[in-house]
Structure 1
Amino acid sequence: MPLFPCAPRGTNGDIYLYRRRGGADSLIPMKRIITLTMNPAIDVAYETDRVFHTRKMRTQQEHYDPGGGGINVARVIARLGGTARAYYLSGGATGCALDGLLDKHALVRFRIPIEGDTRISTSLHEKETGKEYRVVPRGPEVKAEEWQAALHHLDGPQADYLVASGSLPPGLPEDFYCRVCELGQRHGMRIVLDSSGDALRAAVRGGGLYLIKPSIGELRQLTGKALTEESEIAAAAREIVDSGKAEHVAVTMGHDGALLASRSGTWRLPAIPVEAKSAVGAGDSFLAAMVFALGCEQDPVEAFRLGIAAGTAAVLTPGTDLCQRADIERLLKLVPKPGDPQFM
């Protein structure tokens, strides 16, 4: 079965895949995916020769993109040839601007209106040193009736995978993602989570997750352990799987690659050496590619390989841009396969 969809869309908008069975090709629909972004942002990226305090700094290469974990995941899935319906909160004048940016990307989406202003996240690249400065607001205060509306709109058997990604804005209970998980499970959805801090801790405590994607820093915070050795990282991820809290744990480790713990085993893949331009969106690209591959009925190890390629492709793009499919396809050839010496 090919990694990427190669069949025409159905009249209902579904993506179809060719699958060979008994010597003949048949069409099967790609799994349905929805994403949830409770704290979206307009991602703004600038470039300047040198950063000074007080003085005005003239910038070049300005980029404006719709952002937030779930929105980024949906954007990458679309670039890979799939489709995902993005649910997100949006409010104020900046919320209208976010909607306009989403129009440009032609995402299938559902806007949940709020009173507060959608946040603006800023990234500034200093050309002289290569350093990147990022300013990320907490987000607007969300009222109880607003976040409850999000749960209401998700309450239905509408997808195979529900990807909840990103931070929680002020006003939401720390167990919000637990509630999302319980809701999704009632309708047979596999819950994928990428968050941090108390929100991640509460969700893992509640269990029932299909896949979580903490960074190494987030895993350390979750476990309260230093996790300096690879064996310690693997043991911490396996403990989450063995306890039944999540079926798969994918840990991203920057220059050290990534690790995947599943019921069937634990694997680590090295990072692909490239010249990085920006780390913005690398984790979202990694997760999106994994979910996309799973939605194409690839096994978790193949999904992990595609995640490595997509995460690496993201750092090749400047500013707030995400990975490009051509880069992913090229880099995937460099990712070790099962049986290769580097596939551990």
Structure 2
Amino acid sequence: MLITLTLNPAVDVSMTVDRLIPEHKLHCSQPHYDAGGGGINVAKAVRRLGGDVTALYTAGGSNGLTLNNLLKAADVPYEVIGITDATRECFVLTETLTNQQFRFGTPGPTLNATEAAACLARIETLPPPIDYLVVSGSLPPGLPTNFYAQIAHIAKTRNWRLVLDTAGEPLRAALAEGVFMIKPNLGELARLVGTDRLETDQITAAAMTLIQQQQCEVVVVSLGPRGAMLVTADGPDYVQAPPVQKVSTVGAGDSLVGGMVYALSRGESYADAIRLGVACGTAATMNPGTELFHLADVQRLLTWIDQPHQQPVPAVA
């Protein structure tokens, strides 16, 4: 059983405009709507790979209904924890003349104490067996910094593998409780080990610090267009990202997590999991707006990863 949890989901709205000009009326393309938020994107990625997953998330208002319908259209099984305030909208605007992308995120609805308790109660009553619980995204207003740590405690008592993709103090608090896997970028990893900056050759030692302190078992460090490095107690495994024409980076990190968790849930090795994760994350950057990857692209990129890198990535047939 694979469950994703998104406490601060969004209806993602993506558009294009020729050029951003201050104080001018700008004519944008027709908006495209996607169900968004870290855990929801992970669930969508797992489904695109053919996996079984349930997306658990908070939702309220008319945007919450829109979110439900978008997931239904994407063939993603879901369960809603109802809240009073409306689900947020987030916007992605791409300037076509420069291919620059502008992201506009909103804080999200404030969860009250009753709604927070309902979220924890639902986690506590999830029926077994659960192999992986993927908790991804920011905390909405109203939840305490240690909320993910409380979820980590529940997961530990039930022997679930908790994959946590967040940042800042909520991540630090959860690590004090202990989780299975995290996915920081280089800057986030540096802050977790108490330094301002890390070079690439320092990644393994920094990740090992967290592992040896039993804060997590697996650290996956996202390196953007350079790929990703997975570190366990057995050592590091680096996978170079295939060179592709970047269109949008929205959802690339979630696609990486989705590919990895899908592979691990099927009993595949860490080496195979990071390869699939990098292929999924890279493939997501090839599509516009908030769209994730296409399976055909993932398969082509996996072929490139498995071969010597003297050849360019093959074009779509």
1:174-185 equivalences under 5 Å are 174-185=145-156
Superposed, 1:21-32 pairs within 5 Å as: 32=1
Q: CA deviation at 1:336?
A: 4.3
Question: Separation in 2 of the partners of 1:199 and 1:228?
Answer: 21
Give the Cα–Cα distance (whole angstroms) in 1 for the partners of residues 129 and 87 of structure 2: 26
1:276-321 superposed Cα distances (whole Å, 9 cap, x missing partner): 0000000000000000000110011110010010000000010000
Q: Secondary structure of 1:233's match?
A: helix
Give the Cα separation in 2 of the matches to 1:159 and 1:56. Answer: 51
Q: Look up the SS of the partner of 2:231 in the other structure.
A: strand
CA distance in 2, matches of 1:76, 1:334: 20
Alignment match, 2:74: 105
Unaligned residue ranges in structure 1 (runs of 5+): 1-31
Counterpart pick for 2:117 among 124, 144, 148: 148
**Mapped contact 1:227–1:233 kept (Cα < 8 A):** no
Matches within 5 A, 1:168-179: 168-179=139-150
Counterparts in 2 of 1:46 and 1:305: CA distance versus 1, 3 Å: same
Tell me what 2:305 maps to. Answer: 335
Q: CA deviation at 1:231?
A: 1.9
Partner Cα separation in structure 2 for residue 218 and residue 122 of structure 1: 24
Residue 213, structure 1, aligned to residue 190, structure 2: no
Amino acid at match of 1:80: L
Identify the residue that residue 296 of structure 1 maps to in structure 2.
266
Q: Deviations over 1:216-252 (max 9, x none)?
A: 2322333332334212222111111121111100000
- 1:74, 1:84 within 8 Å by CA — same for their partners in 2? yes
Does residue 259 (structure 1) correspond to residue 232 (structure 2)? The answer is no
Q: TM-score normalized by structure 1? A: 0.86
Counterpart in 1 of 2:290?
Answer: 320
- Choose from 158, 181, 185 the match for 1:187: 158
Q: Provide, for residues 186-212 of structure 1, a one-character-per-residue CA deviation record: whole Å limited to 9, x for no partner.
A: 2221111000111111111221x1111
Alpha-carbon separation, structure 1, partners of 2:140 and 2:189: 21
The one-letter code sitting in structure 2 at the alignment partner of 1:166 is G
Shift of 1:61: 5.0
Question: Which amino acid is the alignment partner of residue 79 of structure 1?
Answer: R
User: Do structure 1's residue 76 and structure 2's residue 45 form an aligned pair?
Assistant: yes
Alpha-carbon contact 2:187-2:197 (below 8 Å) kept: no
Question: Is 1:138 equivalent to 2:110 in the alignment?
Answer: no
Cα distance in 2 for partners of 1:186, 1:49 equals 53
Q: What are the ranges of 5 or more consecutive residues in structure 2 without an aligned counterpart?
A: 311-317
Give the deviation of 1:322 after TM superposition: 0.5
Percent of residue pairs identical: 42
Aligned length: 308
**8 Å contact kept, 1:269–1:336:** no
Residue type of the partner of 2:5? L
State whether structure 2 residue 20 is matched by structure 1 residue 46: no
Counterpart Cα distance in 1 of 2:106 and 2:2: 28
Question: Any runs of at least 4 consecutive aligned residues in structure 1 with deviations exceeding 6 A, and if so which?
Answer: none
CA RMSD between the two structures: 1.6
Alignment equivalent of 2:250, drawn from 253, 256, 280: 280
The normalised TM-score by structure 2 is 0.93
Amino acid at match of 1:261: V
Separation (CA, whole Å) in 2 of partners of 1:54 and 1:205: 48
CA distance in 2 between counterparts of 1:187 and 1:48 reads 49
In the TM superposition, what is the alpha-carbon distance from 1:55 to its structure 2 partner? Answer: 1.4
Counterpart code for 1:227: R
